[in-house]
A and B are shown apart, each in its own frame.
Chain A
């Protein structure tokens, strides 16, 4: 096996046994990036020099037996997470030159664990999108078929993991932005419970929905990253002071005796691709064979989730993005008549079309006379969606569904019609509205050879249960061993 193909688990074992050095491993991954990223376009900023210095430091730490499972492991970071001294663009022209003066809490934690940070990964601008086509910088291609999107908004993270351009990555998920690219790229991605991982230093899109999480080549790798990044942070008042279990204690019988709910609104949805349907039927058979009991459940307000989400998220975004005014950071437009004109020109030149669309939509929905009809109504629907999940979890332990209605679509196929693009998030965004965790694990390939992901969702703070179930599924199927040819 080539070094860049290693999982975190295996690389960590070899590093601890001194069979491998982090410098050698990091160089191998940098060589891999040089060889394939010109065709994929996952990295926006590569810090080869910094990574090799961190790797040398990690090797010294391991030599003193002071390593952790992530010490010396090369990781990629979605470009929406602040990295001190390393450019963070959020995929936006407006932040072309932004160099964060501080680290996000997750970056402090990864640094403490000794991880090696390779660079920053492409994304839809400010995490708004489902295909990474909204990046102001470059298109990211799906490693399985380069005519197709990698998913989004964490498309750079998904593609980099799938193409072995990092051993694991961080993404962020506001409506499916970890799970959907994980599904489209054939890797594992976990969106934790809201409040499980600190959002301090995560550039805000929709603050009540955003959550950072891991993307990896295996369930175990995601568990290793979760152990490092989870926990309460007094710098994020929405992070929850609750003990963090050891997510890596994976027993290999996660589905045994589990009651698995099959939400009929998801499985019988119109527009569900036949290949996704087939893969789902096979996955359901697999979990039954693994000892799970399946029950049909109903999440009756599912059909309203897209509309509620695309009111709430843009409302929060329009407020959050008001900070980009060209005063303290970001690109300031040169020609302006006065202060207000400077704000307007900087924002108009700096933001791309989708970001402007969502700011307009959010501003409209929050403006005088419309607040109750849109934001108020959507927030009530959100309560009903949460209630759907609460009732479902009275009869089952986890919910099983597709991640996305179709495999990755072609680049350019959906860019003209925002509403069609929004619909592709139908199975993932309810979890964000309800704050519950969800994991995507590979469960098949389409007839065109594109990956399909299985989503397992659970109640608040059931990440351990989801990881156990996903691990059991993974260990009894071969989908995670398939790699794209590059």
Chain B
């Protein structure tokens, strides 16, 4: 299956990745090869087969709605690349 570099670039944009020109070509070629291989799945007739998302299925588990300890504010901020006393700092979003 032929995947163009424009298609890879579009998908990279969706995935918030910024691929260099040289990487785009390699990725397009590898992706094409991998997707060719995926085509083998079309040999299987799956009409009427229900899809599986989880192999060990369970009903939605419920728990008591009560207060419990949670992550301390400072601990939650400790790994932030940029922060002040109480918040994560990010680049300006609205100019």
Question: Chain A interface (Cβ within 8 Å of chain B)?
Answer: 97-99, 101-102, 193-195, 208, 234, 237-238, 240-241, 301, 303-304, 306-308, 310-311, 318, 322, 325-332, 336, 338-345, 347-348, 351, 356-357, 359-361, 363-364, 367, 374, 376-384, 386, 418-419, 433-436, 460
Contacts and interface: CB of A to CB of B under 8 A. Distances in A.
Given A307-B41, A418-B30, A342 B91 contact: yes
Interface string B28-62: 00110111011011101010011111111010110
Contacts of B82: 332
Given A101-B78, A318-B15, A382-B52, 18 more contacts: A195-B56, A208-B53, A238-B56, A240-B58, A241-B61, A301-B44, A304-B40, A307-B38, A325-B16, A348-B18, A356-B23, A360-B11, A360-B12, A360-B17, A379-B51, A380-B50, A380-B52, A384-B49
B90 A383 contact: no
Contacts of B76: 101, 328
B16 A344 contact: yes
A318 B11 CA distance: 11
Q: DSSP class of B's interface residues: helix, strand, loop or mixed?
A: loop
A367 B19 contact: no
A328 B88 contact: yes
Interface residues of B, number: 50
A120 B61 CA distance: 32
B18 A377 contact: no
A419 B33 contact: yes
16 contacts: A97-B79, A101-B78, A238-B54, A322-B16, A327-B90, A328-B76, A328-B88, A340-B16, A357-B27, A363-B14, A379-B51, A381-B41, A383-B49, A383-B51, A386-B55, A433-B55
Contacts of B35: 364
Interface of B: 7-8, 11-12, 14-19, 23, 27, 30-31, 33-35, 37-38, 40-42, 44, 46, 49-56, 58, 60-61, 63, 71-72, 75-76, 78-82, 88, 90-93
A193 B93 CA distance: 44
Contacts of B80: 327-329
Contacts, number: 160
A462 to B, nearest CB: 13
A208 B57 CA distance: 10
A340 B95 CA distance: 13
Of the listed residues A102, A331, A380, A418, the one surrounded by the most CB atoms of chain B closer than 10 A to its CB is A380
B19 A329 contact: no
A98 B7 CA distance: 34
A255 B16 CA distance: 52
Nearest to B3: A364
Contacts of B12: 360
A332 B81 contact: yes
